[in-house]
Structure 1
Amino acid sequence: MIKYVNHLIEHYGYLGIILALIGGIIGLPIPDEVLLTYVGFNVFQGRLAYIPSLLSAFTGAVGGISLSYFLGIKLGLPFLQKYGPKFHINENKISKAKKLYNQFGPFLLFIGFFIPGVRHITAYLAGINCYSYKKFALFAYSGAIFWGFTFITAGKVLGHNWHQVEHYLSKFSMMIIPFILLSIGAYTYYYWRKKRKLKDKKVYN
């Protein structure tokens, strides 16, 4: 994998990062987290610049997730079930993603980037369920920014210990997902209470 990433960086630069992430997100067997953290290590070494690396990661993630979304709209679930296994998207992963999607709805587009085996499917499901593009883009693109920033920054901070990032970030991911969900829940509750108070004021006035 490292030789592959080195080849991408040496020959294609930031474009290589974009293309690899597009392929990884639509289902090709590319370990995206390893790629991103190694990009962060290259930033640490000075071979890549931090901001262009983040922009490349965002562009690649957005490109892959958007392509998956539009494929979901055009081709539907039968296509995913038929051809998914060729991209390591089996029935078990589809079933797991569907359960999470029913539970969390569009929020899964955000947190799905941090769940192995799920981020490849969330956009397909959004397309299959005919989510509006605006709603899809809001959650999916926000998740893409946060995901790329997390892994590239971790690789940059850890430096020569970047290879340990998978161990550290597996724990971090399990911590960040509940935090995100709690934050969303707290914001939703606050928004509902605020709206309820305004409604009560109108009634009494």
Structure 2
Amino acid sequence: MDSVLDCLSALGLGGVVLGTVLEALGVPFFPGAVVMILAGVLVHQGALNFPATLGAAFGGYTVGSVLAYLLGKNVGTPFFRRYGRFLHVSPEKLMQAQTLPAYSAGFFVLLGRFVPGVGNLTPYLAGLAQLQVGWFLLYNSLYALGWGTVYLGVGMFFGSRWPAIITFIQPRLLGIAVLGGLAVVAVMMHLDRKR
């Protein structure tokens, strides 16, 4: 974990931007929240400035979300029609996804981010549903500011306790990773059996 913190420290705000772009794009298994927590630790240590870090996170998250929105809008329907079966997205689910944002754009964009398995797909689905870009940007910006502030705050809060946290976690990291991997496999097998 310290090596990740050192890497982020070396990259500075560019690392925050890169991490949040990847998070907003929904890159599988990329821990954008961890990047933000570590950035909060660096803010606590004085290596980064809070307003600049929040601005970098907001900018990166917005860029990633807009790219995902545009991909959903311009590539989404043909892609899901062709490859949806491999992602367990039936034509019926695709139609549901396209109509969902019409009921409440704010609810969909803001709260959709909190739904496990759907959160990272929210900007793609918003584009797929042809949600007006202005509404998407408004609600996505509100979410990005809240998301960045919360995770930076968590990192700043735990910043003084960072050495103790590393001492506790480091010997258990492999076990935590194995348990997490097993949990993902178990959930995927369970969902596959339900179908």
The whole-number CA distance in structure 1 between the counterparts of 2:83 and 2:7 is 29
Counterpart for residue 22 of structure 2? 23
CA contact (8 A) 2:105 2:131 kept: no
The percentage of counterpart residues that share the same residue type is: 30
CA contact (8 A) 1:36 1:155 kept: yes
CA contact (8 A) 1:113 1:144 kept: no
User: Could you tell me which amino acid in structure 1 is paired with residue 17 of structure 2?
Assistant: I
User: Could you tell me which amino acid in structure 2 is paired with residue 25 of structure 1?
Assistant: A
Matches within 5 A, 1:164-175: none
The list of structure 1 runs, each at least 4 consecutive aligned residues, that deviate by more than 6 angstroms after superposition, is: 81-84
Matches within 5 A, 1:1-205: 3-10=3-10, 12-28=11-27, 29-79=29-79, 90-91=87-88, 98=97, 101=100, 105-161=105-161
CA contact (8 A) 1:70 1:124 kept: yes
| Deviation, structure 1 residue 16 | 1.4
The whole-number CA distance in structure 2 between the counterparts of 1:40 and 1:107 is 28
Q: Please give the per-residue CA displacement for 1:37-88, whole angstroms capped at 9, x wherever unaligned.
A: 111111111111111111111011101111000111110134257679xxxx
SS in 2 for 1:106: helix
Matched residue count:
158
The whole-number CA distance in structure 2 between the counterparts of 1:82 and 1:46 is 50
Q: Please give the per-residue CA displacement for 1:98-149, whole angstroms capped at 9, x wherever unaligned.
A: 49x4676432312334444333101111111111111111111111111101
User: Could you tell me which amino acid in structure 1 is paired with residue 23 of structure 2?
Assistant: G
The whole-number CA distance in structure 1 between the counterparts of 2:87 and 2:161 is 33
Cα separation, partners in 2 of 1:26 and 1:90, compared to 1, 3 Å: farther
SS in 1 for 2:47: coil
The whole-number CA distance in structure 2 between the counterparts of 1:2 and 1:104 is 42
User: Could you tell me which amino acid in structure 1 is paired with residue 30 of structure 2?
Assistant: I
Counterpart for residue 170 of structure 1? none
Greater mean deviation of Cα atoms: 67-76 or 107-116: 107-116
User: Could you tell me which amino acid in structure 1 is paired with residue 7 of structure 2?
Assistant: H
CA contact (8 A) 1:41 1:158 kept: yes
Cα separation, partners in 2 of 1:133 and 1:105, compared to 1, 3 Å: closer
The whole-number CA distance in structure 1 between the counterparts of 2:15 and 2:81 is 29
The whole-number CA distance in structure 1 between the counterparts of 2:134 and 2:88 is 28
The unaligned stretches of length 5 or more in structure 2 are 167-195
Cα separation, partners in 2 of 1:25 and 1:47, compared to 1, 3 Å: same
User: Could you tell me which amino acid in structure 1 is paired with residue 22 of structure 2?
Assistant: G
Greater mean deviation of Cα atoms: 142-151 or 27-36: 27-36
CA contact (8 A) 1:25 1:65 kept: yes
Superposition TM-score, scaled by structure 1 size: 0.64
